[in-house]
Chain A
Amino acid sequence: MPHQATTPILNDLNLKIQKGERVLLLGPSGAGKSTLLLAISGSLKSMDLAQISGTIKAPSSGLLLQNSMDATVGETVFRDVAFGAESAGIAPYQISHLVAEALKAVALPIGTERTPESLSGGELQRLCLAGLLTLAPELLLLDEPTAMLDARSAFEVRSAVGQYLRMTDSTAIIAEHNFENWLPLVQRVIVLSGSGEIIDDGEPMRVLSSRRLDLLRWGLWVPGMPAPAVPTSYSKLAKQNRSQLNLERDKGEILAIVGPSGSGKTSRIDAMLSDAIAELGPTAVGWVPQNATLTFAGNTVLESASVTAYKLHGDAGTEYAIDLLKRMGLEEKLQMHPQELSGGEQRRLALASALAHKPQKLFLDEPTVGQDRVNWLRLVNAINDARSMGVKIVIATHDTHLIAFADDIEQLSMPTDVPINRPIPPKFNPTPLGLLGASALMLFTSFFIDTISSAIFGLAAVGIAILIALIRGYRPKGLKILLPALLGVLSLGLSNLWLSQDPNLINAVTAAMRLAYFVIPSLLLARHINPSVLGDQLGQLARLPARPVIAGMVALGRVTHLQQTWRHLELVRKLRGLDIQREPEVPLEDRLDILKARLNKVFGRIWELTFQLLLQSIRSGTVTAVAMEARGFSALEKGTGRLRSRTWAVEAQLTKADGTLVAVAALCGLAAIIG
């Protein structure tokens, strides 16, 4: 039962599954399939996600989730797959063998030093599967494992699962809306009702034929049924007159961007999006990214859908937004928080929000992923309507039913050479502890800088060190990050001069130089810290507790992604006109009022962006937590009840370069002391 809820998600459930059985779990959206899988895996309890009554007895299990990017827990393929084995306390020399075996079992012959970000959706899902297989689970739990994938990638994931099940006598429970292709693998189908009770259980053919009407009513993709009928009169007309349409600019059209996953559909959409913004202005463009929740604004579904429309068209805009929400089947949820909607509903809300202010161009990234039949029809109808109203629509998709409606198709192919993500380690390869150690030494010796001559000597030594590094091939990138530091140095010098009891130029300059002496080197050095390697060192060399170190390093590994999210949130604000302020009734004349309005704008923006970024980070963090727990992150030792001690698959070490750096830092300090 969810905390504070009055009705449970799962009700009076009594389920026995024999060892070796392969079970398909069906039911309408919200029936509690995911909850059941989480409960069986033990995550529900360990994460305190809900109030639970009853008991569950399950063997060691592996849980595969739908959203695989958030479920990755390692910086590289090797580290990710090794995570479960490390949690189980397996010796490092055995882990590399296990990782190789697991990657082979899921047919993923890729470099183990590649990053998960560089993999396609299907490869990523098989990577996560490999991470589970290292522990040889007796029970596989699969929660919509192929919902986000194109047909080919889905096939590869299914074969990898099938391969494992054939080789072992493991049990498996699979939940999937689009289930036809799983049928050859399963011997039993369990049907959950909307209120979380088992209403049917038995042999697949019998259950499917006797429950066919239920399944159709719930909108599941029942085998043998054609795609739902969309009123196609316009679409057919459009196809006949395609050449004519391309000439007439005021007619709407749909361009489908298709290609295997990993072929860069999203990048293509993003590029076309920024072109459109430059050409038409931000609010003439609508955008629904793959992560639909990025586009949300405000506290209710209604607010989120209507905010832009109201700003541009007033009350008429709001009315149109409500109309769209009704057509998306969201009329009963107008006052709910957008984050409380199901994944499919969120996608529909995002589309309604993008359409409500009547943009001229609309960009959709996989809009129909994970939709059941009923809601698929709603989405496609809305897209079709927009086209007939003259909107030019670009859709990146692998949904063949949707592609059938396109007026034009752009086919992308896989890039022929997959870029290798890691440069060969340079000859000078300091480790994080070396970098931090040298920085700390600089900070320590900066306290010896108390006269102008010591400042000059110290800073000169730093300058010489940087010069030598430059001569030997050091090429710092992104020097922009030094800008705040330089401004800091300047303002420190000035303010110490100006606000002191008896102003003394020499003292102020000394203070500023002392700052420059350690801030600049530490910023230059910090850029080269690799979080995973730092984690290895803190855990093995510094002997810090493993779990906080690992959680911290996983979070640091997300920084690039979080920066991307921040940029996307800023883009959404621009596209949705959230910074536009409606003209006040009386023009502001008072300078104080103008200042207030500006401050409101700045702080409103900071608050909104911060709030949304934190929300996004928590959403993905929760998935990561489930994925880590499912691989034994907090597993207890049998018998003692204490946390199981982990091993480290990658051995931490210090390098010669670390010694060099620390020695250079010491020399700089010496120069300052002599000065």
Chain B
Amino acid sequence: MQKEKKFQSSWRAVWSNKAPSSLTWRGVDLITAAVISAALGVAFWGYDSIMYPLVGIATAGYPPIGELQLGIWILPAVVGAFLVRKPGAAFYSELIAASVELVLGNSWGITVINSAILQSLGIELILLLFAYRRFNTWLLMIGAGLTAVFEVLYEFVVWVPEYSFFNKMVYLGCGVVSAMLISGLGGTYLVRAIGATGALNAFAAGREAKTK
């Protein structure tokens, strides 16, 4: 009985996190979301040297598979939303990370700003559905998946208009799977891992990670 209760409470702590009562941004929310997103933007820049050969090979064979990377670019939105838990956190974080990418150089130029909007839209919508009161891995995975749909639809028009229907569907599938796994699952896991070090004690997400 005792054991079951303990299990339940930890279960609850992980999967149905309640948001802090206030939806207004504290100063520390703004600064941490901004700094962590800038750091992710810099990490993307850093990945170039590590990943390039790997991704190059994969994409040369069959380019739509390259969309399996999409989740990486959605990471800031998930990390920001799960950490800060305020309306607009995903959007704000994604926008900062995109600005860093724009300044440090990338393949897409100024369109990273458009993508930043689309790549956080799905997450914001899903969280809005629950009035920004629930934040857990499932919700963020669904949000990330939805956000990937928006982004991929946009990419159909702008980047790969000539793809055949089949190839477009593969492209979409890769994007959604990647978003759910890399950003949805990976992003929340990343926040918990950082929270476990005690660095995020100013945030509900960090305190949960510590309790666990």
Contact = CB atoms under 8 A, between A and B. Distances in A.
Interface in B30-52: 30-43, 45-48, 50-51
A109 to B, nearest CB: 31
Interface stretch (B4-12, B135-143, B145-153, B157-165): B157-165
A3 B106 contact: no
B104 A548 contact: no
A485 interface: yes
The interface centre, meaning the residue of B160, B164, B197 with most chain A CB atoms within 10 A of its CB, is B197
A335 to B, nearest CB: 13
Interface size class of A (residues with CB under 8 A): 35 or more
B27 A633 contact: yes
B110 A518 contact: yes
Given A559-B41, A566-B42, A617-B39, A4 B160 contact: no
Contacts of A132: none
B210 A3 contact: yes
A63 to B, nearest CB: 14
B128 interface: no
Given A47-B28, A551-B34, A615 B162 contact: no
B163 to A, nearest CB: 5
Contacts of B2: none
A501 B34 contact: no
Contact of A622 (B32, B51, B54, B163): B32
A559 B111 CA distance: 20
Contacts of B193: 611
Contact of B36 (A442, A526, A556, A618): A618
Contacts of B18: none
Interface in A1-24: 2-4
B102 interface: yes
A610 B31 contact: no
Interface in A366-397: none
A332 B99 CA distance: 45
Contact of B211 (A4, A496, A515, A634): A4
A551 to B, nearest CB: 4
- A interface, by DSSP: helix, strand, loop or mixed? helix
Contacts of A339: 197-199
Given A491-B63, A548-B25, A559-B103, A620 B35 contact: yes
A491 B190 CA distance: 32
Contacts of B96: 552, 555-556
A499 interface: yes
B162 A614 contact: no
A617 B107 contact: no
Given A491-B63, A500-B164, A518-B110, A559 B42 contact: yes
A570 B114 CA distance: 32
Contacts of A529: 102-103
A451 to B, nearest CB: 14
A253 B63 CA distance: 57
Interface in A63-122: none
B167 interface: yes
A222 interface: no
A617 B32 CA distance: 8
A495 B210 CA distance: 47
Interface string B113-130: 010000000000000000
B15 interface: no
Contacts of A499: 63-64, 160, 162-164, 167
Contacts of A559: 38, 41-42, 100, 103-104
Contacts of B48: 484
Contacts of B114: 443
A443 B167 CA distance: 26
A485 B31 contact: no
B100 A556 contact: yes
Interface stretch (A177-185, A267-275, A503-511): A503-511
A497 B164 CA distance: 10
A523 interface: yes
A628 B201 CA distance: 18
A27 to B, nearest CB: 22
Nearest to A605: B50
B92 interface: yes
A526 B160 CA distance: 25
A617 B38 contact: yes
Contact of A48 (B64, B159, B202): B202
A340 B30 CA distance: 24
A90 B130 CA distance: 41
Nearest to A629: B27
Interface in A46-67: 46-50
B200 interface: yes
Contacts of A527: 103, 105
B103 A48 contact: no
A236 interface: no
B46 A492 contact: no
A570 B63 CA distance: 30
B200 A46 contact: no
A519 B63 contact: no
A529 B196 CA distance: 37
A485 B54 CA distance: 18
Interface in A467-500: 480-485, 487-488, 491-492, 494-500
9 contacts: A48-B202, A487-B107, A495-B163, A496-B161, A551-B27, A563-B46, A602-B54, A614-B43, A617-B35
Given A547-B25, A551-B33, 9 more contacts: A2-B201, A46-B26, A494-B63, A555-B35, A611-B193, A616-B39, A619-B199, A624-B31, A625-B32
Interface of B: 25-28, 30-43, 45-48, 50-51, 54, 59, 63-64, 79, 92, 95-96, 99-100, 102-111, 114, 159-165, 167, 190, 193-194, 196-203, 207, 210-211
